[in-house]
């Protein structure tokens, strides 16, 4: 995978001026390039909260890419540093770049909330996500053209409206339409979050079974970020949902090669992809390949944490081999 060209601004007045480059490298999983961007931002802006948030964003991208917990403590530490930095910034000069400060506070709460929610700390995570929405609202009130804040608020609004079972106790639960409208505005006009919005929207389109829209979004994402797992994963999900088993098997093989050869591979996605390859092969009438993929999935190297969380696909692959033996 070739590295994306870094489109650095001639003069950066704020760390956020480099966020387009940073987020692009993260969407393409170019982590060494992302670390280089963060180093450059840090050299220029020191302990600015925008630098701390940039560091946290790199860790979060890896956690979500590999469904891991390695680095969670450092992520939460950076989040708290960012929140403290924003608070101190407001005390020193409340009117200085206030919308930017509110955006960073909201973004920090959002990363922390999502991380905690993924760890099963649902209520704690929701509280932080609610706090993020408050600060995104403030950023938009201060600067209605700060379109990146609409992306954060839109993701919260849509998710809250889609999870009423968990969030039914929230006051003034927003609608999906409100969330989608925010995300669309961010997709069209955001300075550095346009493709972040797209990566969220494609999963929402899949959730709503709008497969035509999801397909167009996947294509747009892969045109900008070829072979990016950010868009290959929803592509695979789309192909499975629409029963395009041959295409799904091809996409799963591309993803498998990426994960198996990555230094951060913990086995989580590898096991899931072998299970997918097994199922696709069976649907294609290729029992020999299905058995082969099941064996490979069961033999895949994985951390104890991964093995615990992947018990269901591992069980499915054992069951598949057992059925083969009983023929």
CB atoms within 10 A of CB 99: 18
Q: How many domains does the chain have?
A: 1
Q: Is residue 32 part of a domain?
A: no
Q: Is residue 141 part of a domain?
A: no
- Between the CA of residue 176 and those of 2, 103, 199, 205, what are the distances in Å? 37, 22, 17, 11
Its domain, for residue 291, covers 243-327
The answer to whether the beta carbons of residues 173 and 160 sit under 8 Å apart is yes
Q: Is residue 157 part of a domain?
A: no
Q: Is residue 79 part of a domain?
A: no
Tell me the two tokens of residue 23.
């987020």
Per-residue tens of pLDDT for the chain, all 327 residues: 333 444 444 346 899 999 999 999 999 999 999 999 999 999 999 989 999 999 999 999 999 999 988 889 999 999 999 999 999 988 877 676 899 999 999 999 999 998 998 888 888 888 898 899 999 999 999 999 999 999 999 888 777 666 544 444 444 455 678 889 999 999 999 999 999 999 999 999 999 999 999 999 999 999 999 999 999 999 999 999 999 999 999 999 999 999 999 999 999 999 999 999 999 999 999 999 999 999 999 999 999 999 999 999 999 999 999 999 997
Q: The dihedral of CA 283, 275, 312, 26: what is its sign?
A: negative
Q: Is residue 306 part of a domain?
A: yes
Q: Is residue 286 part of a domain?
A: yes
Supply the DSSP string of 3-62, one letter for each residue. PPPP---SS-SSGGGGHHHHHHHHHTT-HHHHHHHHHHHHHHHTT-HHHHHHHHHHHHHH
The answer to whether the beta carbons of residues 280 and 249 sit under 8 Å apart is yes
Tell me the two tokens of residue 4.
């994306």
Tell me the two tokens of residue 104.
């960073």
The answer to whether the beta carbons of residues 293 and 278 sit under 8 Å apart is yes
Q: Is residue 166 part of a domain?
A: no
Helix axes 229-241 and 211-224, enclosed angle (nearest 10): 150
Tally the C-alpha atoms within 13 A of residue 235's C-alpha that lie toward its C-beta: 25
Helix axes 147-162 and 98-118, enclosed angle (nearest 10): 30
Tell me the two tokens of residue 299.
């033999």
Contacts of 76 (CB under 8 A, 6+ apart): 112, 115
Q: Is residue 275 part of a domain?
A: yes
């Amino acid at each position: 995978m070739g590295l994306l060209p870094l489109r650095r601004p001639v003069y950066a007045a704020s760390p956020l001026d480099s966020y387009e480059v940073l987020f692009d490298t993260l969407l393409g999983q170019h982590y060494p390039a992302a670390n280089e961007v963060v180093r450059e931002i840090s050299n220029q802006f020191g302990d600015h909260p925008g630098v701390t948030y940039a560091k946290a964003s790199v860790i979060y991208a890896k956690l979500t890419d590999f469904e891991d917990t390695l680095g969670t403590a450092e992520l939460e530490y950076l989040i708290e540093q960012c929140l403290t930095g924003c608070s101190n910034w407001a005390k020193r000069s409340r009117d200085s770049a206030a919308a930017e400060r509110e955006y960073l506070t909201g973004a920090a709460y959002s990363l922390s909330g999502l991380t905690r929610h993924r760890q099963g700390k649902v209520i704690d995570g929701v509280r932080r996500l609610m706090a993020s929405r408050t600060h995104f609202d403030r950023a938009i009130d201060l600067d209605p053209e700060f379109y990146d804040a609409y992306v954060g608020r839109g993701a919260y609004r849509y998710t809250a409206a889609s999870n009423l079972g968990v969030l039914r106790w929230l006051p003034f639960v927003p609608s999906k339409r409100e969330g989608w409208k925010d995300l669309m505005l961010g997709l069209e006009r955001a300075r550095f979050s346009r493709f972040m919005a797209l990566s969220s929207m494609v999963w929402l389109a899949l959730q709503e079974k709008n497969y035509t829209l999801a397909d167009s979004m996947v294509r747009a994402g892969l045109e900008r970020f070829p072979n990016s797992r950010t868009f290959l994963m929803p592509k695979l999900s789309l192909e499975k949902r629409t029963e395009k088993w041959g295409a799904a098997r091809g996409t799963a093989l591309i993803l498998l090669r990426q994960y198996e050869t990555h230094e951060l591979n913990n086995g989580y996605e590898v096991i899931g992809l072998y299970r997918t390859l097994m199922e696709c092969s069976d649907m294609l009438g290729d029992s020999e390949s299905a058995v082969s993929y099941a064996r490979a999935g069961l033999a895949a190297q994985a951390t104890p944490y991964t093995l615990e969380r992947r018990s269901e696909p591992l069980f499915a692959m054992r069951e598949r081999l057992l059925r083969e033996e009983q023929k």
